[in-house]
Amino acid sequence: CGVFGIWGHEKAAELTYYGLHSMQHRGQEGAGVVVSDGEELKAHKGLGLVNDVFKHADFNKLSGRVAVGHVRYSTQGGKVLENVQPLLFRSQAGSLALAHNGNLMNAHKLRGELEGQGSILQTSSDTEVLAHLIKRSGMETNEESIADALNQVVGAYAYLILKENKMFAALDPTGIRPLSIGRLGDAYVVASETCAFDQIGATFVREVLPGELVTISDEGIKSTRFAMREQRKMCAMEYVYLSRPDSDVNQVNVHASRKRMGIELAKESPAPEADIVVGVPDSSISAAIGYAEMSGLPYEMGIIKNRYVGRTFIQPSQELREQGVKMKLAPVRGIVEGKRVVMIDDSIVRGTTSRRIVQMLKEAGAKEVHVRIASPSIQNPCYYGIDMSTRDELIAANNSPEEICDIIGADSIAYLTEKGLERAIIMEKTIHQGICTACMTGKYPVKEDGQTEIMYTK
């Protein structure tokens, strides 16, 4: 998912629409905005793409100098309108809106407790749990009640919380999900990805820190801490696949990190004898450029993408995913025919993409296809908000690399190592930088009982 917030701008709702549009890749199931005019919160949301949802928005009715927005893809909770965020809770004592990127590992347990105490939950999304924890026993929404609520949830989260006259931004103590602060003139902006800042002409100021609660109001910006800062464990998949190449995630540019993944991969696993390097558009092109540069082979456009098809991974069923890959990617026969091809993909999850593409390239006349994957193999589920949650679906959890090579019909296969991935992402200049690689290495930085594992990557 992606979150966006703006404080102190006449066109808050419209800028939220632009910001969300630039983060469309983070979720295509639904989108929404909640605006505050200082007295009242108003929502506009819907299922589908940002453009579809906002096509029907009357921005005159969404007046107010403050807004939070959200693009959604579901990890918990179904694909229904009431789960589209920001969630808005009205009450006489004061309304509350929430936008969440991440996943709460103990949501089910907390929900049971809340219901046991008489709370009635409206949605099946884990986000609502936090709202109830904040509002419990009629507490006012302030730093104290939010900190108290955050200390009960376990998992990965970047939250934007809005009430009539204040906005709060919070990041989990290990900083697994991205969240940055920017400025646009006098206005403050908060977003999952910095590409949203560029989109609206805002400038990056700083990251929200792990365990930090930021309060934004007409008095300015204030920082408090609800948890001790731990070494940051930014999701490695943000760099590998999820984020846009023009974004800086924890101050490291995504395209540049992917290119370094390709360079490291070429050093670790050069292809035997090959003619061209081809990347799977769009997310693997940066890594393919790096691989080509390092190996001295020409980078070629051997696969093209139909840009009118959405992200296949985010399709909820395997059938839709298979059809999606077929509609989305096509080989360039004139380029690959008779060639020994090194095919770079950023990752293999279920194996759908790689299998289809190897087959396509061979049908188009490629002599050999050597698959090189610019991340380690994914063998474990993610509990922190990325949708690949069952082990059964993960091809690498159930098959060796040799078996995968056979299944996808490649001539050889190799993955980037954990060390190679770290070299590509972790930069000297970034303080407290570390990465989560749990889906690849099984080293989970946060456990469900709330214990964090202290591991120092550097």
Active-site positions read 1
Give the angle subtended at the CA of 92 by the CAs of 88 and 97, to the nearest 5°: 20
β-partners of residue 204 are 182
Q: How far is the CB of 278 from ligand 5GP (least distance, A)?
A: 13
Residue span binding ligand 5GP (CB under 6 A) among the ranges 33-41, 82-90, 176-184, 237-245:
237-245
The residue type at 102: G
Which CB, 162 or 237, lies closer to ligand 5GP? 237
235 is in an annotated binding site: yes
Q: Does 235 bind ligand SF4 (CB under 6 A)?
A: yes
Give, as ranges, the residues between 134 and 153 that touch ligand 5GP (CB under 6 A): none
Q: How far is the CB of 126 from ligand 5GP (least distance, A)?
A: 18
> Residue 283 annotated as binding?
yes
Q: Does 350 interact with ligand 5GP (rule: CB under 6 A)?
A: yes
Give the total of residues touching Mg ion (CB under 5 A). Answer: 2
CB of 131 or CB of 360, closer to ligand 5GP: 360
At residue 306, the 3 state secondary structure works out as coil
Q: Between residues 216 and 237, which has the closer beta carbon with respect to ligand SF4?
A: 237
* Contacts (CB under 5 A) with Mg ion, residues 276-305: 280, 283
> Candidates 164-172, 211-219, 349-357, 362-370 — which segment interacts with ligand 5GP by CB under 6 A?
349-357
Three-state SS at 150: helix
4 near 29, Cβ under 8 Å?
Answer: no
Q: How far apart are CA 194 and CA 23, in angstroms?
A: 9
The answer to whether 384 touches 178, Cβ cutoff 8 Å, is no
Q: Give yes or no for residue 265 binding ligand SF4 (CB under 6 A).
A: no
Q: Which residues fall within 8 angstroms of residue 292, CB to CB, at 6 or more apart? A: 262, 277, 298, 299
Closest CA to 189 of 221, 230, 163, 165: 221
Using CB under 5 A, which of the segments 18-26, 120-128, 130-138, 274-282 binds Mg ion?
A: 274-282
Q: How far is the CB of 172 from ligand SF4 (least distance, A)?
A: 11
Q: Any residues with CB less than 8 A from the CB of 161 and at least 6 apart, and which?
A: 68, 96, 97, 98, 134, 141, 146, 167, 168, 169, 170
Told to check if 349 binds ligand 5GP by CB under 6 A, we report yes
The two structure tokens encoding residue 291 = 């691989």
Regarding 133 and contact with ligand SF4 (CB under 6 A), the answer is no
Helices (H) and strands (E) in the chain, counts: 16, 24
Segment contacting ligand SF4 by CB under 6 A, of 3-11, 53-61, 142-150, 382-390: 382-390
Which of 49, 67, 146, 176 is the binder for ligand SF4 (CB under 6 A)? 176
Q: Is 236 in the site for ligand SF4 (CB under 6 A)?
A: yes
Q: Choose from Mg ion, ligand SF4, ligand 5GP, none: what does 436 bind? Cβ within 5-8 Å by kind.
A: ligand SF4
DSSP 151-213: TT--EEEEEEEEETTEEEEEE-TT--S--EEEEETTEEEEESSTHHHHHHT-EEEEEPPTTEE
**Which one among 87, 405, 438, 446 touches ligand SF4, defined by CB under 6 A?**
438
Q: Give the HSE-up count for residue 207: Cα atoms under 13 Å, Cβ half-sphere.
A: 22
| C-alpha pair distances (Å), 320 with each of 47, 256, 323, 393 | 18, 32, 5, 15
449 φ/ψ angles, rounded to the nearest 5 degrees: -80, 5
| Residue 347 interacts with ligand 5GP (CB under 6 A): yes or no | yes
Give the position of tokens 């890959």: 325
Site membership for ligand 5GP, residue 388 (CB under 6 A): yes
300: contact with ligand 5GP by CB under 6 A: no
User: Counting contacts by CB under 6 A, is residue 436 touching ligand SF4?
Assistant: yes
Known binding residue 382? Answer is yes
Q: Does 373 bind ligand SF4 (CB under 6 A)?
A: no
449 is in an annotated binding site: no
Encoded amino acid at 427, one letter:
M
Q: What does the alpha-carbon distance between residue 421 and residue 258 come to, in Å, rounded to a whole number?
A: 9
Binding mask 81-120 for ligand SF4 (x = CB under 6 A): ----------------------------------------
Write out the two tokens for 270.
């050069």
Sign of CA dihedral 379, 381, 384, 388: positive
E-only strand ranges, 263-335 = 276-279, 299-300, 303-305, 329-331
Q: Which is nearer to ligand 5GP, 97 or 176 (CB)?
A: 176
d(CA 135, CA 67): 21
Contacting positions for ligand 5GP (CB under 6 A): 237, 241-242, 280, 283, 311, 313-314, 345-354, 386, 388
Contacting positions for ligand SF4 (CB under 6 A): 176, 235-237, 382, 384, 386, 436-439
Residue numbering of the annotated binding site for Mg(2+): 283, 345-346
